[in-house]
Amino acid sequence: MKKIEQLLELFLFCSRWMQLPVFWGLLVAPVLFAVKFMLQLWKLITQFEVMDENTILLSVLGLIDISMVINLLVVVFIGGYTTFVSKIEFENHEDKPERLGKINASSLKIKLIVSLVVFRGFTC
């Protein structure tokens, strides 16, 4: 019976790798948002002379929204991957932000909730 339990636990533990395709998909999303950001920025630059203040403000807020979504995606895929799938080896990387070593399931939930609340505040 103990052997069956150990096999089941091993299967459950290895099933975390089923999330990998999801994280790959989340890596594609910021690229798409970056393209959208550049297109909106180009539109803002080229049509700036004919835009009124409200249109400029809405365009800038749209750029901020895209930036916040990309930041949220980064938190989700780095935090989620390191918390649930596998540790990322970036301990000695010169650009590593200090907080990345401290992400766990609880801090990830809090970061997501705060990001969603702030993002929702911008879109209302």
Is 4 part of any domain? Answer: no
The conformation of residue 63, written as its DSSP 8-state character, comes to H
Which domain, by its residues, includes 54? Answer: 18-123
The conformation of residue 82, written as its DSSP 8-state character, comes to I
Is 10 part of any domain? Answer: no
Cα-to-chain-centroid distance, residue 75 = 4
- The number of domains in the chain is 1
Is 40 part of any domain? Answer: yes
pLDDT, one tens digit for every residue, the chain (124 residues): 888 888 888 877 777 778 778 878 888 999 999 999 999 999 999 999 999 999 999 999 999 989 888 888 887 777 777 766 666 666 665 655 565 555 555 666 666 666 666 655 555 5
pTM of model > 0.85: no
Is 89 part of any domain? Answer: yes
Is 12 part of any domain? Answer: no
Is 111 part of any domain? Answer: yes
